[in-house]
Amino acid sequence: MNLNKAKVIKFLKGEDEEQLFNDAFSLRENFFKNEVLLRAIIEFSNYCLRDCLYCGLRRENSRLNRYRMKKDEVLNASKRVIDKGVETIVLQSGDDIYYSRDMIVDLIKSIKSLSRSIALTLSIGERVRDDYKAFYDAGADRYLMKHETANESLYNSLHPNQSFKERLDILYLLKKIGYQVGLGHIVGLPGQSLEDLAEDIMLYQDFQPDMIGLGPFIPAANTPFGSKESADMKLVLRSYALARVVTENAHIPLTTASITKGEHNFIREALRISANVIMVDFTPRDYSIDYKIYDGRYSSSIEETDRLIRDAGFSPSYSKGDSLKKI
């Protein structure tokens, strides 16, 4: 369903909300029925060479206990995922170039050798261009790289020494290589307007990503935005609905940030009208407590997540769940 920017802004303001939610619900039900896919995430490093103003992993946060997981630790976590029957692993880290191209390639091949049915998603930030092809050739299936905001000047101001144009160029390169590509924005960033949020929705409509990871801004301690207000969750819910309407069959996770900030009714409604994926953290507990992108981050076991999905009236699925846009 194509929307123009003016209509998107009206929806973001709450106008014709019932129509928006009904349209989103119809699409979600048509493509995904009552199913919610579980993805296993392993956050293998919280080092980051970037200094994004809102992120707790930012390079200048000297109060964060840093860690890097060794290969055998990542493989052990991957084996736990496979033992639980989950068929998607997401490897996530800060932009940490300690892990060379060869190290990541070796890690990809080692994980894929554990199970032929595993889909592997990388979420490791910006790399040298040739790295992306090497990772894909090694067996990586998907790449998640959130664009954060589609307002170029806002993006550049929030990401010192980074460029929105470069970010967008990489996303299109990933698509060209053959990855199932995910992007996503943050709702409620300081300095963000409804017009900016509308541009995020228009980007989804134009790019047609395989995955969308959107969620609320939540302040992180020891960052320049540590004292700012969290996002309006009504605006987050409308953003979920709009993302569903303009992409129709993209996989849209109910992100950890959304679960952290949202109450039970929000979670149920987000799943009803849009979200069809939930990430489960398989990072060893000794490490996961220090993956502090923002304050008070939600974390639960796969059993607890399974129960959350069922309590909301949905059916959990551990299957691979490839992009419907690739069929």
204 inside domain: yes
| pTM score | 0.97
Q: Tokens 């699925």 appear where?
A: 317
326 inside domain: no
168 inside domain: yes
199 inside domain: yes
43 inside domain: yes
Select from 216, 248, 295, 252 the least CA-distant residue to 57: 295
Asked if the model's pLDDT at residue 54 lies above 80, the reply is: yes
- Residues 212, 183: contact at Cβ < 8 Å? yes
- Residues 211, 252: contact at Cβ < 8 Å? yes
Distance separating alpha carbons of residues 307 and 313, to the nearest angstrom: 10
Give the pLDDT confidence of 197-219 residue by residue, as tens digits.
Answer: 999 999 999 999 999 999 999 99
The number of folded domains in the chain is 1
**Identity (one letter) of the amino acid at 231?**
A
Tell me the residue range of the domain where 280 lies: 5-321
Q: Tokens 């050798």 appear where?
A: 113
Give the pLDDT confidence of 8-42 residue by residue, as tens digits.
Answer: 999 999 999 999 999 999 999 999 999 999 999 99
CATH number for position 116: 3.20.20.70
